[in-house]
Structure 1
Amino acid sequence: MDVLARQLLISTAVVSATVLIHLLGLDALQGLLRWHLERFTRWINLDRVLVPLGVVLGLFVLHGLEIWLYALVYWKMQMLPTLEQALYFSTSSYSTVGETGAILPDRWRIVGVLEAINGMLLIGWSTAFLFQILHHLMWDDSDNHPLPKGAIARASKPRRTRQK
């Protein structure tokens, strides 16, 4: 198989896997958030801190899984000699920081560049998710959202709950 075709095939598989991980992870985060808000919001006053913190930590876990997936591909396919180098390279590439000292062999460098594009898109998706969740929970008055509106809004705004 041609070197470029092999790089594109591997990149497509890993990008597809990370998008699936991200999609399922965001769905799970939203489900956990809904579960928390339906059961605990009435008696826990710390939700203005706990909810954003929980969502951000959940997003870190998702991105960590995706970075580790790339690192394991780099290491298992012997693109980089050690797991530590593979993880460091993957984190740097995914976050688009750039130069890490570790360099992929020429026959694999397209995979690293495509990881950077993938990471940029997934981080942007997470940012949009976080903004949308926080906007809805704190300020939004629309009825077409799966989470309870205004669930962590300031006390000056009356708290509304979704009718079932």
Structure 2
Amino acid sequence: MNSLADELLISTGMVTFTVAVHLVGLSVLIQLTRLHLTRFAWPVQVDRFLVPAGMVLGIFVIHGVEIWGYAALYDLAGAAQGLEEALYLSLGAYSTTGWVDVHLLPGWRVVLSLEAINGLLLVGWSTAFFFQNLTRIMVTEESHPLPEGAIAHDGPAARRKNVRP
């Protein structure tokens, strides 16, 4: 059984680990996407499928490593009854599904709860990464149906600077 201080220390270590995995994983994914787009001459129609599919699969691998990291911790620490249960618990926490049919030992509840917050933030980071990069490579200023900054509010001082006498 862990004390609250132990659980917080373990959680801090796991958050640090998963953020590092995420940062490195997304950086590698960017480099692989760049390599694909600059080295291979595929028709645009093929790339419009391959690039997003590759990004999604890469993001799944990154999240998989993070989930398996938590599952390995639970299994090695004996907090769950076997690897399958540890993975099941980790998937439930990380995805914020929160399975109710399997429970972690009392000394691990804070770690499991903080895994849920960690997973939520990392999934959000992945979503922002995915949409930002798809927009960058799929949309040009000319091809976008909406004018950039059409209803931006720059404030009264900025508007006065742009008004010609």
Please, what TM-score do these two structures have when normalized by structure 2? 0.82
List per-residue Cα deviations over 1:58-116 (Å, max 9, x = no partner).
Answer: 00000000000000000000110110000001001000001241111111100000000
How many residue pairs end up in the alignment?
143
Instruction: Give 2:49's aligned residue.
Output: 49
Q: Over aligned residue pairs, what C-alpha RMSD do you find?
A: 2.0
Instruction: Give 1:161's aligned residue.
Output: none
SS at match of 1:80: coil
Q: Report the structure, 1 or 2, having the larger helix content.
A: 2
2:110 maps to a residue whose letter is: I
Write the distance in 1 (CA, Å) between the matches of 2:18 and 2:127.
16
2:135 maps to a residue whose letter is: H
Instruction: Give 1:106's aligned residue.
Output: 106
Q: How does 1:1-164 map to 2 (within 5 A)?
A: 3-40=3-40, 42-45=41-44, 46-141=46-141
**Structure 1: gaps spanning 5 or more residues:** 142-149, 154-164
Write the distance in 1 (CA, Å) between the matches of 2:91 and 2:125.
17
Identical counterparts, % of pairs: 52
Kept in 2: contact 1:33–1:51 (CA 8 A): yes
Give the number of the structure whose alpha-carbon radius of gyration is greater: 2
Write the distance in 1 (CA, Å) between the matches of 2:115 and 2:42.
43
Aligned in 2, Cα 1:91/1:56: closer, same or farther, shift over 3 Å?
Answer: same
Write the distance in 1 (CA, Å) between the matches of 2:124 and 2:84.
26
1:93 maps to a residue whose letter is: A
List per-residue Cα deviations over 1:21-43 (Å, max 9, x = no partner).
Answer: 00000000000000000011x33
Kept in 2: contact 1:93–1:116 (CA 8 A): yes
